[in-house]
Chain A
Amino acid sequence: MNSFLPEVAMVTIAALAPILAAALGGLATEYVGVLNIALEGLIMAGGFAYVAVGGTWGPAAGMVAAITVPAVLALAQDGFARKARADAFVVGLAMNMLIPGAASVMSELIFGTKGVVALSALASGTLAPGAVHVPVVGPVLFSQRWSDILALLASAVVALGLALTPFGLRLRAAGMKPESVELAGLSPGRLRDGAYALSGAACGVAGMAMAAAIGAWVPNLSAGRGWIALVAIYLGRKRLKGTFLASLSFAALLALATLAQAVPSLPAGLLGAVPYLVTAVAVILGSAARGQYARKIKA
C-alpha cells in the first residue's frame, strides 16, 4: 500500500503528459472556433518525425522535427480547409487517415519496414535516477522520463500562453466575434493559423514523448491519445481548468487500468476497456445532470 499511491501517481503523470499536451493544443483551436479533430494523426506525425530525424541526427534534431513537422502539417490542413472552403471537420478526419498512411509508406522507404523501428539511442532516460529513493517525491517526480517532463512543461507553456498572453485573448476574441478582431487591425485567419500551428506543435511534443518513452516508432503509436484529448476538451467544457481536470482524470483511469494488469486474476485485455466505459458513463451522467440543472433554472 505504501508504494501503491506513489506508483499510481507516477504512472498517472506519465499517462497525463501526452494527453494534456494534445488536449491543450486542441483547446487553442477550439478558442478560435474550429476544433482541430486531427490531434490523433498529428501525435503520430510528431512521433514519426522524432524517430525518422532523430535516428540520423540525434534526439535534439528529432525533437525539433517532432515540433515543426506536425505544426507545418496542421498549418497546411487549416490553409487547405480555408482556401478550398472545405469542411474543417472532414479535412481533420482525412488527416487522421493520411498521416498514418504516409508514416507507414515513409517508414518502409526509410527503414525498410512498416513495422516497429526500435532505436535505443532515442529512448528517454529518467529525470534524476540518483534521486529516485527520496521518500514520496523521489519515485513520483524524479523517476519520470525527461520526455514526459518536457511534454508537461510544453503543456504549461501552452496553458499560460492561452490564459495570460494577448495571443490567448485574441484567439478567444477571434472565436467569439471575428469582426472585433478585424476592427482591432488583426487578421482572424492569421490567428486561426497560429492556433492550428500551436495545436500541431503541442501534438508533436506529445508524439515525441510517446516515441521517446519506448525508444521506437510503432504503427498506431498514438493509440487513441488524440481522441482522448478531444474527449478531455469536451468533458472540460472547452475551458482550460476543465480540460486539465478531465485529462488528469482520464490519465488516472488509464494508470489504474495499467497497474491492475499486473494482478494475475484480472483479465488484462478487459481492463483496457474500463477507462473508456467509465468516461462514457461520466459523459452521459454529466449531460443528464446538466439537463436537469438547466430545466430547474428554467422553471
Chain B
Amino acid sequence: MNELCALPPPPQSRAWEALRRLALSSGLALVLVFMVSVLVSDEPLKAFRAFSLGPLNSARALATLLEAAAPLMLSATGALVAFKAGHFTLGGEGQVYAGAFMAALAGAWCPEGSFGLLAAVMAGVLGGTLVAAPAAAGKRWAGADVLLVTFLLSQAALHVVDWAISGPFRDAGNNLIAMDPIPQASLLPRLVHNLPLTPVPLVAGLVSVGVWIFLSRTRCGTMLALYGRNSRFAALQNFPVRSFEWAPIIFAGAMHGLAGAALSLGSNGTAVRGISGGLGWNAIGAALVAGGEPLAVVPAAVLFSWLDSGARQAAIFTELPPDAAMIIKALVIMAATAKPAYTRLKALLGGRKRT
C-alpha cells in the first residue's frame, strides 16, 4: 500500500491540462485588466467593468466576440499543427492577408450566391497556401529554415497585397482603401437574424476538433507529433518524414488563408488595407497559450478576442488606451510558459502536493 502511495500520480489528459492552463491564463488576464485600469485610467472601476464585462453584456456583444475569435481559432489551429511538427512558422500575417485578398477578388468576380461564396472561400485557402508553398518546398527539397523563409515570404506578401489593394484593385468609389465590395449574396450567411453571427465559429470549432482527433486518435497524427519531437527517431522508424517536412506548413498556410477569407466575407464585405491586423502574430500567441492542445485553441482564441474587444469597449467609455490589450496578451503568453508559477498554481488548484 505504501509503495502504491509512493507512486507518482497518473498523468492527466493533455486536454484537461491545457484547459486548466487556460483557466489560469484567464484569471491572470482579469488581474492584469484590473491593474492596467488602476494604473492608466482615471475611472478604474468603470474601465474595469467596461473591459471585462463589455464584450459579454448582450447577445450582440457575445456574437461579435465569437465572430472575432473565429478567424483566430482557424489561424491558431494551423499554427499549432505546424508547431507540433516542429516547424516554427512566422508567416501567418502575410498568409492571412493574401487569403483575404484572394477571397475578396473571387467574391467580387464570381457569380453571386453560393457558388460565389464557395469560390471565395477556396480562393482564400489558395491565397494562404500559395504564400506558404515556397517555404514548404524549400524545407522539403533544400532543408531551408522554415522560420526564416516563412517570415520573409510573409513580409513580401504584405507588400504585394498592400500594393494590390491600394492600387490596381482599389474600389475608386470607396473612401476606405478597400477592394470592390463582395455582393451580399456571396457573403457569409448570418445564423441568427439581427446578430453578426456567421457559421465561421462553428467551422473553426469543428476544425479544432478534427485536428484533435487527427493528432491524438490517428496513427498518422501520432507519427507527426513524434516527428516534431524527434525527426531522427521518426526517420529511423520509417515514418513518412518526407511528407511531414512540407504538409504541416501547407496546412498552416491553408488555415491562415481560410481565416483571411472569413475576414473578407464577414462584416467587412471585402478586403480592406491592413485587414489582417496582427491576426497571424496573435495566432502564434493563442497556439502557445493553448499549450499544443487543439481543443484548447478555441478558448485561447476567445480569451484573446475578449481582451481585444474589452479594450475597445473600455476605450469608448473611459480614456483607457485600446492597445492595453496587447500588453495584457503579451504578459499572459509569458505567464503561460512560466513553469514554477504554473506548477505552483496547478498544485494549488489540483490540491496535490508537488514532488
Partners in one complex: yes
Chain A residues proximal to chain B, CB less than 8 Å:
80, 83-87, 89-91, 93-98, 100-102, 104-105, 108-109, 114, 224, 227, 230-231, 234-235, 267-270, 272-274, 276-277, 279-280, 283-288, 290-291
Q: Does B333 contact A (CB under 8 A)?
A: yes
| Chain A residues within 8 Å of B324, by CB | 101, 105
The 3 closest A-B pairs by CB, nearest first: A101-B326, A269-B163, A98-B330
Give A80 to B333 CA distance when docked, in angstroms: 13
Contact of B144 among A94, A100, A269, A284 (CB under 8 A): A284
Interface of A, helix, strand, loop or mixed by DSSP: helix
Give A95 to B325 CA distance when docked, in angstroms: 14
> In the complex where A98-B331, A114-B321 touch, is A234 in contact with B163 (Cβ < 8 A)?
no
Query: Does A280 contact B338, Cβ atoms closer than 8 Å?
Result: no
Interface of B, helix, strand, loop or mixed by DSSP: helix
Give A286 to B334 CA distance when docked, in angstroms: 34
Q: Does B142 contact A (CB under 8 A)?
A: yes
Report the contact-size class of chain B (Cβ under 8 Å from the partner).
35 or more
Query: Does A86 contact B153, Cβ atoms closer than 8 Å?
Result: no
Contact of A270 among B138, B159, B338 (CB under 8 A): B159
> In the complex where A105-B327, A227-B151, A273-B156 touch, is A287 in contact with B138 (Cβ < 8 A)?
yes
Give A108 to B156 CA distance when docked, in angstroms: 31
Query: Does B334 contact A105, Cβ atoms closer than 8 Å?
Result: no
Q: Which of B43-51, B182-190, B196-204, B281-289 touches A?
A: B281-289
Query: Does A97 contact B337, Cβ atoms closer than 8 Å?
Result: no
- Provide a sorted-by-A list of 26 A–B residue pairs whose CB atoms are within 8 angstroms: A84-B338, A84-B339, A84-B340, A85-B339, A91-B337, A93-B333, A94-B285, A95-B330, A96-B281, A101-B323, A101-B325, A109-B321, A230-B148, A231-B151, A267-B163, A269-B162, A276-B159, A277-B153, A283-B138, A283-B148, A283-B152, A284-B134, A285-B142, A287-B138, A287-B145, A291-B143
| Chain A residues within 8 Å of B149, by CB | 280, 283-284
Contact of B334 among A86, A274, A279, A283 (CB under 8 A): A86
The smallest C-beta distance from B282 to any residue of chain A, in angstroms, reads: 8
Contact of B159 among A89, A96, A269, A283 (CB under 8 A): A269
Q: Does B240 contact A (CB under 8 A)?
A: no
Give A86 to B331 CA distance when docked, in angstroms: 12
Give A109 to B320 CA distance when docked, in angstroms: 10
Contact of A85 among B135, B138, B167, B338 (CB under 8 A): B338
Q: Does B316 contact A (CB under 8 A)?
A: no
Query: Does B40 contact A105, Cβ atoms closer than 8 Å?
Result: yes
